[in-house]
Amino acid sequence: MSTTSATDIAPRPAHGPARRGSILEATVRLLVRGGLAGVTHRAVAREAEVPLAATTYYFRSKEELLGEALALMVEDEIRRLGERAAQLGEGLSSPGESATALAEVLFPDADSARAMLAKFEVYLEAARRPELREPAAHWQDALADLATMTLAAGGATDPERLAPVVIAGIDGIVIHELSRGLAGDLDVARLRAMLEQLFALVLPAG
């Protein structure tokens, strides 16, 4: 689940009407850095540089805060994916070209790949928390659209049918690689090589 880095949304002064937005942005940064376990009202207030009471004033519960923060994170990620996908262009005619293009969109660097830990936590937690299911589904749909476009450019005969399977495969590869640790460019290169093998299974040779 690609991705927003911990520094993408920088802290900003929080006064008056801007305070609610600052709290949401702080929550996103905490999610990316430490996952769901790192999000508490106290931690959010400290990150946003607001009084503790402000977090409970603007958000009735931690669940409401998480749901809105995840929606913000998903919208930022979808916008990033759309911008990068627009750069793919035409002429992706081989599994290698398609895998490389998709990997560069999803994982431009090791920090982006590590930030996907937050996405996978959301997926798992959505099974328990209904309020997280809508942003999780929105994220999956955006990734499926990106995969559909890339598969079509690579010559797949039924890209819409294959896209969800490819996304599930990518998620599995990324989870596997993240469990080993992604420390730098060589690890990202290894991840991209595995994506190329996945694409070789679903794209016609050529």
Using a 10 angstrom Cβ sphere, with 0-12 exposed, 13-18 middle and 19 or more buried, the burial of residue 22 is buried
Residue 110: pLDDT band (50, 70, 90) is: low
**Residue 198 lies inside a defined structural domain of this protein:** yes
Q: What is residue 44's predicted lDDT score, i.e. its pLDDT?
A: 96
Domain that includes residue 165, residue range: 69-202
**Residue 54 lies inside a defined structural domain of this protein:** no
Asked whether residue 129 carries a pLDDT value surpassing 70, the answer given is yes
Across 18-27, 28-37, 126-135, 162-171, the highest mean pLDDT is recorded for 18-27
* Backbone angle region of 181, left / alpha / beta, with phi > 0 → left and psi within -120 to 50 → alpha: left
**Residue 51 lies inside a defined structural domain of this protein:** no
**Residue 42: φ, ψ to 5°:** -65, -45
**Residue 162 lies inside a defined structural domain of this protein:** yes
Q: How far apart are CA 202 and CA 192, in angstroms?
A: 16
Token pair recorded at residue 156: 């797949």
pLDDT-above-70 percentage for the chain: 79
**Residue 17 lies inside a defined structural domain of this protein:** no
Q: Using an 8 Å Cβ cutoff, are 72 and 46 in contact? A: no
pLDDT in tens, 29-80: 898 888 888 899 999 999 999 999 999 999 988 888 988 888 888 888 778 7
Q: How many domains does the chain have?
A: 1
Polymer length in residues for the chain:
206
Asked whether residue 133 carries a pLDDT value surpassing 80, the answer given is yes
Across 88-102, 119-133, 183-197, the highest mean pLDDT is recorded for 119-133
CATH of the domain at 172: 1.10.357
pLDDT-above-90 percentage for the chain: 15
- Which residue has better confidence, 200 or 58? 58
Q: Using an 8 Å Cβ cutoff, are 43 and 30 in contact? A: yes
pLDDT in tens, 98-108: 777 777 777 77
48, 76, 160 from 4: Cα distances, Å? 18, 7, 26
* Backbone angle region of 49, left / alpha / beta, with phi > 0 → left and psi within -120 to 50 → alpha: left
**Residue 40 lies inside a defined structural domain of this protein:** no
**Residue 5 lies inside a defined structural domain of this protein:** no
**Residue 143 lies inside a defined structural domain of this protein:** yes
